[in-house]
């Protein structure tokens, strides 16, 4: 998951950023240590077999195979393929965060433009906000597993107060093969137009501003729906995964330290531990593991990568308990 660390480096100290390298929570070490240990163990086993178990003839054959793997492994375009995949996945992940539907501006417009200190006026404002929250909830139920687990059926949506039983009947009577998140948008628009006709919204410009903000909110929801509908092409994930793992499978053999007495080019020094190969594995596989984690988690499997739960509950509290503010600013009667 994404871990906030900006407060740890707020002061420009000499070792400020170096301390981040030692963090375990949310680190690449936590994500990659199993694969790293497995790669090191496999490399060690092959090295021991080459040095101790194989006969002289078998060693010569292994050395030829090692040089062959080392020569042609570099022809795998790992950097290019991985860089392309990074750009694609990270851009999708960040754009999903940027397009999270926040209702604050729309709520401000409703609070200031929909007039009425009576009970009907308060109910009108609350209903408009509830339709906004219902729209975002329907989207989050489709794109986030965490939210879907919290509201698995429409019964839970009704029980939470996002939808009335009568509205549910209308909602379910609409036949559509796609997600019907747009229905609350229609209800919102019709109710806002009715409020204008009744004089609750005093100016057509105010109505236009409210509808424009609602359309902007709907665009955010549609963007999230589109990202969930059209995922990262499977072929991209397969190509990147095969390229990285094939490269390091070849490195297990090709990066072995061979007998330096044989005079092989580049094997005049026997260090036993392939430091730079291990670093290369750490960087490339760490990159790949995080990207695959993004692909798996970007739709909210654990509810941590994108703050859908925080966003959803913020809207619930803003839309379900408005009397804390409305009684102060809309229900205050002037003294006579």
Q: What is the pTM of this model?
A: 0.76
Tell me the pLDDT band of 331, cut-offs 50, 70 and 90. very low
Residue 81, pLDDT > 70, answer yes
pLDDT at 178: 86
* Domain shared by 107 and 181, yes or no: yes
Give domain status of residue 22, yes or no.
no
Give domain status of residue 3, yes or no.
no
Q: Between helices 204-229 and 78-98, what is the axis angle to 10°?
A: 150
Give domain status of residue 215, yes or no.
yes
pLDDT at 25: 79
Mean pLDDT of 281-285: 92
* Domain shared by 114 and 211, yes or no: yes
pLDDT at 302: 45
Give domain status of residue 13, yes or no.
no
* Domain shared by 122 and 65, yes or no: no
- Residue-wise pLDDT tens digits, 255-276: 999 888 787 887 778 788 899 9
pLDDT at 297: 66
* Domain shared by 200 and 237, yes or no: no
* Domain shared by 175 and 216, yes or no: yes
Give the chain's domain count: 2
Give domain status of residue 197, yes or no.
yes
* Domain shared by 167 and 223, yes or no: yes
Give domain status of residue 4, yes or no.
no
Name which residue leads in pLDDT, 308 or 211. Answer: 211
Residue 53, pLDDT > 50, answer yes
* Domain shared by 198 and 314, yes or no: yes
Give domain status of residue 319, yes or no.
yes
Write the DSSP string, 2-62.
Answer: ----GGGGSS--TTHHHHHTT--TT-HHHHHHHHHHHHHHHHHHHHHIIIIIS-HHHHHHH
Give domain status of residue 189, yes or no.
yes
Task: Report the percentage of the chain scoring pLDDT > 70.
Answer: 83
pLDDT at 334: 40
Quote the CA–CA distance of 280 and 29 in Å, as a whole number: 14
* Domain shared by 153 and 279, yes or no: no
Tell me the pLDDT band of 305, cut-offs 50, 70 and 90. very low
* Domain shared by 292 and 315, yes or no: no
Mean pLDDT of 187-215: 93
Residue 320, pLDDT > 50, answer no
pLDDT at 149: 87
pLDDT at 27: 80
Q: How many CB atoms lie under 10 A from the CB of residue 131?
A: 24
* Domain shared by 204 and 321, yes or no: yes
The number of C-alpha atoms within 13 Å of 308 and in the hemisphere containing its C-beta is 29
pLDDT at 31: 84
* Domain shared by 159 and 68, yes or no: no
Mean pLDDT of 179-191: 94
* Domain shared by 65 and 55, yes or no: yes
Containing structural domain, residue 281: 28-97+232-306
Query: What residues form DSSP beta bridges with 114?
Result: 201
Tell me the pLDDT band of 215, cut-offs 50, 70 and 90. very high
Tell me the pLDDT band of 78, cut-offs 50, 70 and 90. very high
């Amino acid at each position: 998951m994404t871990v906030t660390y900006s407060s740890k480096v707020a002061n420009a100290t000499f070792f400020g950023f170096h301390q981040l390298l030692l963090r375990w929570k949310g680190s690449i070490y936590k994500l990659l240590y199993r694969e790293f240990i497995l790669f090191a163990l496999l490399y060690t086993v092959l090295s021991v077999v080459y040095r101790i178990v194989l006969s002289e003839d078998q060693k010569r054959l292994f050395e030829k195979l090692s040089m062959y793997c080392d020569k042609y492994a570099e022809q795998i375009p790992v950097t290019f393929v991985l860089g392309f995949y990074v750009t694609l996945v990270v851009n999708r992940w960040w754009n999903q965060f940027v397009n999270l539907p926040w209702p604050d501006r729309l709520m401000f417009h409703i609070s200031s433009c929909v007039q009425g200190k009576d009970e009907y006026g308060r109910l009108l404002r609350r209903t408009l906000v509830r339709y906004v929250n219902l729209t975002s909830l329907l989207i989050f139920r489709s794109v986030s597993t965490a939210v879907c687990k919290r509201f698995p059926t429409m019964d839970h949506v009704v029980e939470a107060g996002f939808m009335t039983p009568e509205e549910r009947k209308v909602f379910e009577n609409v036949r559509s093969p796609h997600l019907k998140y747009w229905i609350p948008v229609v209800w919102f628009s019709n109710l806002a137009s009715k409020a204008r006709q009744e004089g609750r919204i005093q100016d057509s410009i105010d109505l236009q501003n409210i509808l424009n903000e609602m359309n902007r909110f709907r665009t955010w929801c549609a963007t999230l729906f589109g990202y969930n509908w059209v995922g990262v092409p499977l072929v991209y994930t397969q190509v990147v995964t095969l390229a990285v793992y094939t490269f390091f499978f070849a490195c297990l053999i090709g990066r072995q330290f061979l007998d330096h007495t044989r005079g092989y080019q580049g094997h005049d020094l026997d260090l036993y531990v392939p430091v730079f190969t291990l670093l290369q594995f750490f960087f490339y596989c760490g990159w790949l593991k995080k990207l695959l984690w993004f692909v798996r988690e970007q739709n909210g499997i654990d509810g941590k990568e994108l703050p859908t739960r925080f966003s959803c509950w913020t809207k619930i509290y803003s839309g379900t308990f408005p009397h804390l503010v409305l009684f102060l600013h809309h229900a205050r009667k002037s003294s006579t």
